[in-house]
């Protein structure tokens, strides 16, 4: 009987095989351990992030992007990366506005215009300098408004700020373009939006350092409008904080202000987030400065209805100009901003009178809905005149001299708001519907 013998080198082969298996086992074990580590790290990151969310400490922006990245290759390299893109969280801030003035060649400096109002040279005139500042800047928030102009023959001048002169009020050369911006913390929460009147048309809205107007092509700036608006949560903003995609109407009130009904109307507007335009008689405005200041603080528009409620067609042009200029000054003294619109008493106009309006930079505003509240003194008739006929772009005429107008407004204002109308000033309405120029009449601003 022969003894079975193992092949030569058998033991060496077995030992090598066992060594390979042991190395493979250790390698697999290492891979499993590494994967477990990666899973644990990833789980911990997600848990910390979720806990931060619950505690309200989540970073805003595109958020925390978790990366990726575990690649197991020949060398089992670990590449775990996290990239954080941080965007400042949305913060609700108070309303703020611009105040601005213009220097007109041959006329001098204007009084200040309200946010989103019109600063226009007289028909045939042009602007040689501008100045601007801010109204109701939040306390403790850094920054200001800066602005520069392109002056014909000189090019772009240095940036100015805080009501400093940009341009040349002592010279004859017109502005050709304007640029504006906010600085500091203001720039994080607000946009400055502006447009200029050039070659008979208003330019598109520009913002935050963009150039409004065409420089170097022989065109001058004849008007400017400026608005400071809060940035919404999605980053958008609109001049006057008005959404141009939504319907809007302009409520207007004549013959006031009244110490009783006008404050009531203002309170109703404030409660419903609306604004209106008040065409005031100068001799009544002199007695109601506190009411005018309330209008301005609420963002309503102060406007001109002559000093003595004088019909354009019944006085010579010099007297009409005196009446309009006196009223502008009275209102400016009381509220700090000057009217830019006039309403012809009784709606009566003639060429001479419209020439006067144009010469003092004012468009004439009529109406598309006349409530006849001055005649009927009937609350329900006034309500029906508005609610039964109102359309997007209407200018609605009422008179705040009467308590019945305030009674009707208590119903009209919330109902228009409930129907989805934005209650805006005439200047605001026009700013999204083609704009206005001095010496022209306007009845409505349809989309």
The predicted structure's pLDDT at residue 70: 37
Is 388 one of the catalytic residues? no
Q: Is the dihedral of CA 416, 417, 420, 421 positive or negative?
A: positive
pLDDT digit string, tens, across residues 375-388? 999 999 999 999 99
How far is residue 184's CA from residue 191's CA, in Å, rounded to a whole number? 12
pLDDT digit string, tens, across residues 331-346? 999 999 999 999 999 9
Q: Name the active-site residue from 254, 255, 373, 400.
A: 254
Helices (H), 55-158: none
Check whether 71 has a pLDDT greater than 70. Answer: no
Check whether 405 has a pLDDT greater than 90. Answer: yes
pLDDT, mean of residues 268-285: 98
- The answer to whether 304 and 339 have CB atoms below 8 angstroms apart is yes
- The answer to whether 227 and 97 have CB atoms below 8 angstroms apart is yes
pLDDT band at 160 (very low <50, low <70, confident <90, very high): very high
% of the chain residues with pLDDT over 70: 80
Phi, psi dihedrals of residue 100, rounded to the nearest 5°: -145, 155
Mean pLDDT of the chain: 86
Check whether 61 has a pLDDT greater than 90. Answer: no
The predicted structure's pLDDT at residue 18: 52
Three-state helix/strand/coil letters over 358-373: HHCCCCEECCCEECCH
The predicted structure's pLDDT at residue 21: 53
Is 254 one of the catalytic residues? yes
pLDDT, mean of residues 12-30: 51
pLDDT band at 370 (very low <50, low <70, confident <90, very high): very high
- The answer to whether 98 and 135 have CB atoms below 8 angstroms apart is yes
The per-type count for the chain, helices as H runs and strands as E runs, is 11, 24
pLDDT band at 92 (very low <50, low <70, confident <90, very high): confident
In the three-class reduction of DSSP (H, G, I as helix; E, B as strand; rest coil), residue 264 is classed as: helix
pLDDT, mean of residues 391-400: 98
The predicted structure's pLDDT at residue 91: 74
């Amino acid at each position: 009987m022969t003894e079975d013998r193992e092949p030569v080198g058998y033991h060496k082969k077995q030992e090598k095989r066992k060594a390979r298996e042991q190395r493979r086992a250790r390698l697999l074990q290492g891979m499993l351990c590494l994967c477990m580590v990666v899973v644990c790290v990833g789980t911990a990151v997600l848990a910390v992030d979720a806990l931060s969310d619950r505690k309200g400490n989540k970073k805003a922006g595109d958020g925390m992007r978790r990366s990726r990245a575990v690649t197991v290759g020949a060398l089992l390299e670990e590449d775990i990366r996290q990239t954080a893109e941080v965007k400042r969280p949305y913060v609700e801030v108070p309303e703020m506005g611009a105040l601005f003035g213009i220097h007109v060649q041959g006329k001098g400096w204007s009084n200040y215009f309200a946010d989103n109002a019109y600063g226009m040279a007289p028909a045939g005139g042009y602007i040689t300098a501008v100045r601007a500042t801010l109204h109701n800047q939040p306390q403790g928030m850094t920054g200001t408004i800066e602005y520069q102009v392109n002056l014909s023959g000189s090019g772009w001048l240095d940036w100015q700020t805080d009501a400093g002169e940009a341009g040349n009020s002592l010279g004859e050369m017109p502005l050709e373009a304007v640029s504006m911006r906010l600085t500091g913390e203001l720039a994080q929460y607000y946009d400055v939006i502006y447009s200029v009147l050039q070659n008979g048309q208003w330019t598109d809205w520009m913002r935050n350092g963009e150039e409004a107007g065409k420089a170097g092509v022989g065109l001058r700036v004849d008007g400017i409008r400026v608005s400071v608006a809060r940035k919404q949560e999605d980053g958008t903003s609109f001049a006057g904080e008005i959404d141009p995609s939504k319907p809007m109407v302009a409520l207007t009130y004549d013959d006031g202000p009244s110490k009783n009904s006008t404050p009531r109307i203002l309170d109703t507007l404030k409660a419903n987030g609306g604004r209106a335009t008040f065409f005031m008689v100068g001799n009544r405005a002199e007695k109601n400065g506190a009411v005018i200041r309330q209008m301005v603080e609420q963002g309503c528009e102060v406007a001109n209805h002559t000093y003595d409620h004088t019909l354009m067609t019944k006085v010579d042009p010099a007297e009409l100009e005196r009446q309009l200029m006196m009223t502008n000054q009275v209102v400016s003294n009381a509220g700090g901003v000057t009217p830019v619109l006039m309403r012809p008493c009784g709606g009566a106009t003639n060429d001479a009178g419209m020439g006067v309006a144009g010469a003092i930079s004012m468009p004439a505003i009529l109406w598309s809905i006349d409530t006849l509240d001055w005649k009927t003194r009937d609350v329900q008739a006034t309500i029906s005149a508005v609610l039964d006929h109102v359309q997007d772009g209407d200018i609605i005429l009422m008179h705040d001299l009467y308590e019945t107008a305030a009674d009707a407004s208590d119903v009209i204002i919330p109902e228009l708001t409930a129907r989805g109308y934005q209650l805006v000033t005439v200047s605001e309405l026009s700013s999204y519907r083609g704009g206005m120029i001095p010496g022209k009449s306007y009845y409505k601003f349809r989309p």
